[in-house]
Chain A
Amino acid sequence: MEFKVPKEAYTGNVREIVIGKGEKTLKIGGENILPLHFFDDGVQPNPPRFALEVLDMVPQDWPDFLKEPYLDVISDPIKWAKKCEEYGADAISLMLLSTDPAEKDTSPDEAASLVKRMLSEVRKPLIVYGCGDEKKDSEVLPRVAEVCKGENLLIGPVQKENYEIVGKAILENGHVAIAQTPLDINLLKELNIKLCKFLPPERVVIDPLSSALGYGIEYSFSIMERVKQIGIITKDSMTMMPIIANLGGECWKTKQAKEEKNQGLLWEGITAIALLLAGANLLVLRHPETLKLVKETLGGNKIWN
């Protein structure tokens, strides 16, 4: 009897989203198969992409071996970003940490002006993360959106407390939103429903939070996995968005990563690979050697050709 390899074909399709404009663009998502299920009917046209993270202030709690690759540029975010390009990042993720009232409480204007300058100097698309304080972000992120009008940045986190004000600024100024919810698929869908009442779903990327290995990665894994299953298998429009896994910061605050260099690289690398298998489309890392390690593990982009 002839053996026929079973093949699944699904009806859902993750929206393909472009970040940046002109020469510096990046496509993510677009798949209609579950992550890496190349044996099924369908495509995953865009490989997972990797951003390296830049802070807008000198990091205070990084171990020396994490600062080392950036040592000569660490007090200049723009040079730091250029260094990330040299290291092979597909995008730069600028974290506006200094705007946090608990840090330097940098003003929205000052933060926006840094983003604008970085935009003119780097050749890779930009992701901009606010400090995470919903109130401060609702002042800083709209200002960033305005000053960089039309540049199609990926901006977040847009949270349930500030989605109206931040989401509207993203809509009016032509950017893409990072919709962030705290490790809960029901809340994730609810925020997307609310956001998509005025923002086209083609302009939303999901950030379900990325917990590090040993610190709750199972939760992040399950949620990403379910987002993809529900989107691709049951065609739920409100989960058919690409996923960003902002994992570098989570990994490098663990005791284990800070303890020893190779352990740190593996901590970040294994977290990245795991979340990639769960369905992350865009991953934010901190250490350039992790980026190299993860890319080697994937075997270049061979599986996507």
Chain B
Amino acid sequence: MIIIGENIHVIAKEVSQAIRERNAKVIQDLAIQQKEAGADYLDLNVGPVKRDTEETMKWLVECVQEVVDLPLSIDTMNPVAMEAGLKYCKRRPLLNSASGKTDSKQNMLPLAKKYNCDVVVSVMTDKGMPPDLETKVESILDTVTYANELGIPNEDIWIDPIILPVSTAGEGQRIAVENLEFIKILQDVVPGVKSTVGLSNVSNGVPHHLRPILNRTYLVMLERSGLYSAIADPLDEELMALIRGKMENVRQLIYKVMDKEEIDMSSLTQKEIDYVKTARILMGETLYSDAWLEI
């Protein structure tokens, strides 16, 4: 599993402030920490960068590359900022992201060809989020065909099914299950493509201290379904342990829930019980509530 470190993110106040004030140390510390924790890529989520676009992107990319040699994922919706970022990358970067939206096809996808980089392609279309599995597949087939025509091979395309919060009134759980299925069938639909997700979104809106177990459990489930990479928090030690082949007992329990096998809860530790309960939420077996571990 390729982990794209998510922690350099403008929604974090210290990051947006550091970029504004050109405070290299804050950014470089985050980069080093994530690399040491085992990240394979670093995501630079810069937002729209409307002011001093070129200069800001150059500064940020070079600032990170000064201290780590990991490939970068340039994460912005603004094609001008995207190009500025890609231009300064020393290693083959990841364009994060393009989608099936017309303006994205016209302005983002050509950049992937121009800079010969990998590209995240989400299932979004001009109509918004496809409502079910079938329409997600249609959207991806359409966008991948378009990308192929531009000369981007399947192997350079990382498909993103878009993870939504599991806590949103019923729908969130349905979509969590559907996305597992999407990842599972992806290779049959578009052979050779890779895949990625914005993992933490699954726990958006959930009380802060309960977010990690949802993220970890879902990543194990996605990995088993065939996920290639995830934008996630490499500083979460338990998350990294789980996907680096440790905590085998927990992994097996999550698999059992996925396979709908009976589990004897009386023989489990509290931590194992919590993982089983969380996996049941993510499989849509029990209705989500913030108190899911308390019952």
Contacts and interface: CB of A to CB of B under 8 A. Distances in A.
B170 interface: yes
A239 B169 contact: no
A184 B291 contact: no
B294 to A, nearest CB: 6
B169 A185 contact: yes
A188 to B, nearest CB: 8
Interface in A250-283: none
A293 interface: no
B169 A186 contact: yes
B211 to A, nearest CB: 15
Contacts of B295: 193, 237-238
Interface centre among A184, A188, A189, A230 (most CB of B within 10 A): A189
B291 A194 contact: yes
B56 interface: no
A253 B292 CA distance: 37
Contacts of B169: 184-186
A71 interface: no
Given A184-B169, A226-B170, A189 B294 contact: no
Contacts of A236: 286-287
Given A185-B170, A186-B169, A226-B170, A193 B286 contact: no
A241 B28 CA distance: 55
Given A193-B295, A194-B291, A186 B167 contact: yes
Contacts of B286: 234, 236
Contacts of B167: 186
Residue among B169, B170, B289 having the largest count of chain A Cβ atoms under 10 Å? B289
Interface residues of A, number: 17
Contacts of A230: 287
A234 B167 CA distance: 18
Contacts of B294: 193-194, 197
Interface in A181-216: 184-190, 193-194, 197
Nearest to A231: B287
Contact-size category for B: 10 to 19
A222 to B, nearest CB: 8
Contact of A234 (B285, B289, B290, B291): B285
A239 B287 CA distance: 9
A28 to B, nearest CB: 22
A184 B294 CA distance: 19
Contacts of A185: 169-170, 287
B170 A190 contact: no
A226 B288 CA distance: 12
Contacts of A234: 285-287
B276 to A, nearest CB: 16
A197 B287 CA distance: 18
B132 to A, nearest CB: 18
A57 to B, nearest CB: 36
A187 B292 CA distance: 11
Interface in A10-38: none
**Leading 5 A-B pairs by shortest Cβ distance:** A190-B289, A189-B289, A193-B291, A190-B291, A186-B289
20 contacts: A184-B169, A185-B169, A186-B168, A186-B290, A189-B287, A189-B288, A190-B289, A190-B290, A193-B291, A193-B295, A194-B291, A194-B294, A226-B287, A234-B285, A236-B286, A237-B295, A238-B287, A238-B289, A238-B295, A239-B287
Given A187-B289, A190-B291, A197-B294, 7 more contacts: A185-B169, A185-B170, A187-B290, A189-B289, A190-B290, A194-B291, A238-B295
